[in-house]
Structure 1
């Protein structure tokens, strides 16, 4: 079977990016669909067909008893960095579902201040979505979101496994 053509950028993907890159529109979206992310103050710094960066700041609502960012808040930011890319690629074509099936993490440093999670796996996500649409079978992608603090030190690395399946039309 020939390899499905994968366009990492489409007009629908560009429209999605314009929506979520507007701070006000993203906050409204999070308030409606991801209220905990809204409360935690997650911010989208960058979204391209290839990568996304989401930030989270140490503050009262994201703290743990050890004066650092609670691991679940870090997980939200890491998952959103890959999840926004997944949403962008899923919305840019025939209907498909997406679901997190696994999450693993390595914590290397205390997370304080502003932490930016970057996931560079947009092309792999686009490929998996295109393959699922072409074959009708599910596909999985392990996306890596790396969290870096303001000093440039890696504080955590999350691996989020996404499952994509084209919906029957």
Structure 2
């Protein structure tokens, strides 16, 4: 089955309802790049009138995770995927629409190929940057993913 933004958004409605309710939406998923949008609103705000860090984290993780799912679907292999570490940096208040982008598709593909070759798990780090409507980076998230082709 082909992984598309619409399919991921539909999946989220039933399997990740908190992401759906907070306004998280996959906008693009192609050519090794995934962009996820989340808009500051009442349900995802903090007491300081900006987006709660955890809502930003959901969007950032989705931008990396959707890219991993896409690469797995392209590989025609069964691959286990798990976040093993996460770090974040915050630069500005997140208000308005925030777009989280991950450009790590090539890294994921290489890790899957190496796991096929070695039959061992691979650990990769994917970066997602959140930019506001003025294109200013508001936060940067780093996710360490463990990928292993199943026998």
TM class by shorter chain equals over 0.9
Q: Which runs of 4+ in 1 moved over 3 A?
A: none
Kept in 1: contact 2:36–2:59 (CA 8 A): yes
- Secondary structure of 1:130's aligned partner: helix
Q: Which has the larger radius of gyration?
A: 1
Q: Distance in 1 between matches of 2:69 and 2:51?
A: 26
Q: Which has the higher strand share?
A: 2
Number of residue pairs the alignment of both structures matches:
150
Q: Match for residue 123 of structure 2? A: 140
1:16-165 matches, cutoff 5 A: 16=3, 20-22=4-6, 25-92=7-74, 93-165=76-148
How high is the TM-score relative to the length of structure 2?
0.94
Q: Distance in 1 between matches of 2:16 and 2:129?
A: 21
For structure 2, the residue ranges without an aligned partner over 5 or more in a row are none
Aligned residues: CA RMSD: 1.2
Deviation at 1:130, TM superposition (A): 1.4
Q: Any idea what the Cα deviations from partners look like across 1:78-115, whole Å, max 9, x if unmatched?
A: 00001001011122312110000010000000100000
For structure 1, the residue ranges without an aligned partner over 5 or more in a row are 1-11
